[in-house]
């Protein structure tokens, strides 16, 4: 018997094993002796059948445990061998023969043929009521079916609760991956990867698993024991029975059982409802790319593994330097906007940049991470200008900018290889958060915001708030009570490195008015604005005030 046939026996449906059937009181009371197939007792018993006719194989569907007293086995060795072979070809789980008037011991031809076919063959030394055996095993099978349905229903309940709690497709796939202890993939109907959840052997990223088993040969059958379940729905105007996506469970960490298929079918029904919403596949694919970029930034994907996994997501920069960019939108998003709309709009804007682009979204953190392939590191600034313009134009096109809210912050990291991209994405993501509230620029170089990042990391430390209060507290108190406010004057003065003419010009003040304000600032703070140490402390305090109450 080939391995594919044997796999079919093990996964055809819920039931009990041959071993478990032999342990039940009915068969155990018959003193069973295993004559063949002792290594196949883990086969699933789908049902029990009793019969004495020679052509009984034609009445079976596969997976049955056949009970007989042997009258249909024939008297000649050739008949007995043919009887066993047809049962094995039909795919029954086991043959159990009760010794008695027909046989006191099973013939060698019967036993040898069963051994050669890999068919479990059991002889009973005592008479047993077949009806009792049938009832016991059927009860066990029905109870097993109920237990499977209960487990699958629990997964369905958890998935539903996740959606009601504000989760989406990633949460549903994560629950299914945890339940099956295997990676789970959502593909389009034509085999394009939308999202991956769970992990492969030894914690391998699921993208590695998909690339190795599905990526190169989407049309080839999946590995034996896999579970594939269609997610119905189709697009607008699709007919009945159309497929919108496909759930794929691959047994790379542990075998998949019937309950995993049942759970996947339950999950597919939920996913069908979610994906019916406009552009959910686009958002899901963008979130998958965002997860990859975040895993790369946080070191969960190595620089060695990253190129192959990036190819799965359609990013093929070759040996080009990689430029990490992160846009932080945060609270500036309009409630009516959607990440699917944003992802599509930004992707369309970035198409004009003219370099390989991997764009993702991270809704929880309010970030849009991007990785670009440059022709050379010398074009970093020029590409950064075009990317920042495209990112902001995408936000505007998507209608996700709140009126009066500050524009999104775009931070550009250092160009380099995959290892540099990992560190650069992490640095840019942190810096983009720390840069919220800064004076608007098209984009910021992550290296020039390291002081802001350091102050942001200290935002919850009481010493930082105390420092800000000591340095500029009197000015804050003044500005709460009096006009004109003096903090903007000090900030502009320090930004121009103490150049009074440029400060007056930007503030639209005559020079004497500026001198009076600077004198008042020095008086309130009790310090000399020409002292370098004072200037440094005030500059740090002005930067830090964004991060403290």
- Which token pair is 56? 């009984």
DSSP state of 65: E
Q: Is the pLDDT of residue 121 over 70?
A: yes
Of 88-92, 181-185, 239-243, 472-476, give the lowest mean pLDDT range: 239-243
**CATH code 1.10.10.2840 region(s) in the chain:** 462-547
H/E stretch holding 122: strand 121-124
Residue by residue, DSSP assigns 66-87 as EEE-STTS-SSHHHHHHHHHHH
pTM of the entire predicted model: 0.59
Q: What percent of the chain has pLDDT over 90?
A: 30
- For residue range 304-315, what is the model confidence (pLDDT) as tens digits? 989 988 888 889
Q: In CATH, what number does 284-450 get?
A: 3.30.70.1130
Residues 488-494: contacts with CB under 8 Å, at least 24 apart = 489/514, 489/517, 489/518, 489/521, 490/521, 490/538, 490/542, 491/542, 493/518, 493/529, 494/535, 494/538, 494/539, 494/542
Helix 511-525 / helix 487-495 crossing angle, nearest 10 deg: 110
**CATH code 3.30.70.1130 region(s) in the chain:** 284-450
DSSP state of 447: G
Distance from the Cα of residue 326 to its chain's centroid: 21
Q: In CATH, what number does 462-547 get?
A: 1.10.10.2840
pLDDT score for 97:
94
4 band by pLDDT with thresholds 50, 70 and 90: very low
- Which token pair is 144? 């097993």
Tracing tokens 């009445």 back to the chain, one arrives at 59
**What's the mean pLDDT in 209-224?**
70
Quick one: which of 274, 279, 273, 221 has its CA closest to 250?
221
**CATH code 3.40.1390.20 region(s) in the chain:** 3-128
Quick one: which of 49, 220, 37 has its CA closest to 117?
37
Q: In CATH, what number does 165-216+223-277 get?
A: 3.30.450.40
Cα–Cα distance for residue pair 30/509, rounded to 1 Å: 107
| Longest alpha-carbon distance in the chain | 124
Which one is predicted more confidently, 14 or 28? 28
pLDDT score for 6:
33
H helix count then E strand count, the chain: 20, 16
H/E stretch holding 121: strand 121-124
- For residue range 337-396, what is the model confidence (pLDDT) as tens digits? 577 778 888 888 888 888 899 999 888 888 899 999 998 889 999 999 999 988 888 888
Q: CATH assignment of 3-128, given 3.30.360.10, 3.40.640.10, 3.40.1390.20, 2.60.40.10?
A: 3.40.1390.20
């Amino acid at each position: 018997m080939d391995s594919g046939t044997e796999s079919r026996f093990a996964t055809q449906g819920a039931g009990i094993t041959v071993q478990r059937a032999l342990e039940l009181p009915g068969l155990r009371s018959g003193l069973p002796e295993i004559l063949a197939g002792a290594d196949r007792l883990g086969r699933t018993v789908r049902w029990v059948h009793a019969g004495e006719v020679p052509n009984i194989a034609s009445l079976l569907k596969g997976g049955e445990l056949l009970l007989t007293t042997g009258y249909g086995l024939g008297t000649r060795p050739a008949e007995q061998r043919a009887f066993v072979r047809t049962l094995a070809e039909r795919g029954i789980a086991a043959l159990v023969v009760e010794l008695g008037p027909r046989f006191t011991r099973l013939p060698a031809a019967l036993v040898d043929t069963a051994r050669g076919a890999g068919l479990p063959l059991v002889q009973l030394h005592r008479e047993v009521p077949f009806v009792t055996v049938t009832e016991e095993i059927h009860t066990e099978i029905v109870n097993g079916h109920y237990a499977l349905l209960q487990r699958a229903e629990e997964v369905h309940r958890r998935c539903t609760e996740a959606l009601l709690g504000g989760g989406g497709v990633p949460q549903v796939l994560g629950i299914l991956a945890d339940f099956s202890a295997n990676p789970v993939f959502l593909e389009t109907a034509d085999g394009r990867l939308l999202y991956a959840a769970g992990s492969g052997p030894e914690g391998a990223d699921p993208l590695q698993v998909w690339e190795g088993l599905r990526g190169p040969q989407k049309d080839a059958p999946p590995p034996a024991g896999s579970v594939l379940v269609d997610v119905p729905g189709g697009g607008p105007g699709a007919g009945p029975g159309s497929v919108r996506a496909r759930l794929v469970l691959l047994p790379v960490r542990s075998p998949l059982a019937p309950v995993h298929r049942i759970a996947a079918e339950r999950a597919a029904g939920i996913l069908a409802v979610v994906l019916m919403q406009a552009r959910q596949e686009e958002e899901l694919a963008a979130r998958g790319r965002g997860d990859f970029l975040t895993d790369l930034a946080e070191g969960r994907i190595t620089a060695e593994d990253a190129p192959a996994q990036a190819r799965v997501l359609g990013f093929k920069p070759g040996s080009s330097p990689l430029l990490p960019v992160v846009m932080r939108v945060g609270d500036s998003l309009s409630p009516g906007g959607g990440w699917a709309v944003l992802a599509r709009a930004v992707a369309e804007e970035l198409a004009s940049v003219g370099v390989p682009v991997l764009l993702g979204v991270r809704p929880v953190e309010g970030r849009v991470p991007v990785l670009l392939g440059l022709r050379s590191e010398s074009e970093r600034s020029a590409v950064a200008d075009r990317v920042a313009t495209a990112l902001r134009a995408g936000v505007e096109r998507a209608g996700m900018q709140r009126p009066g809210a500050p524009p999104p912050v775009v931070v550009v990291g250092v160009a380099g290889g995959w290892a540099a991209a990992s560190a650069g994405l992490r640095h840019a993501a942190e810096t983009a958060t720390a840069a919220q509230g800064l004076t608007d620029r098209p984009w910021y170089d992550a290296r020039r915001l390291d002081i802001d990042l350091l102050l942001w990391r200290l935002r919850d430390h009481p010493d930082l708030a105390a420092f800000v209060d000591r340095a500029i507290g009197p000015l804050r108190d003044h500005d709460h009570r009096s006009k004109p406010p003096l903090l903007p004057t000090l900030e502009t003065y320090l930004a121009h490195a103490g150049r009074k003419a440029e400060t007056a010009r930007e503030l639209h003040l005559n020079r004497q008015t500026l001198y009076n304000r600077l004198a008042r600032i020095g008086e309130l703070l009790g310090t000399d604005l020409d002292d370098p140490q004072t200037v440094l402390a005030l500059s740090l305090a002005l930067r830090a005030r964004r991060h403290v109450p």
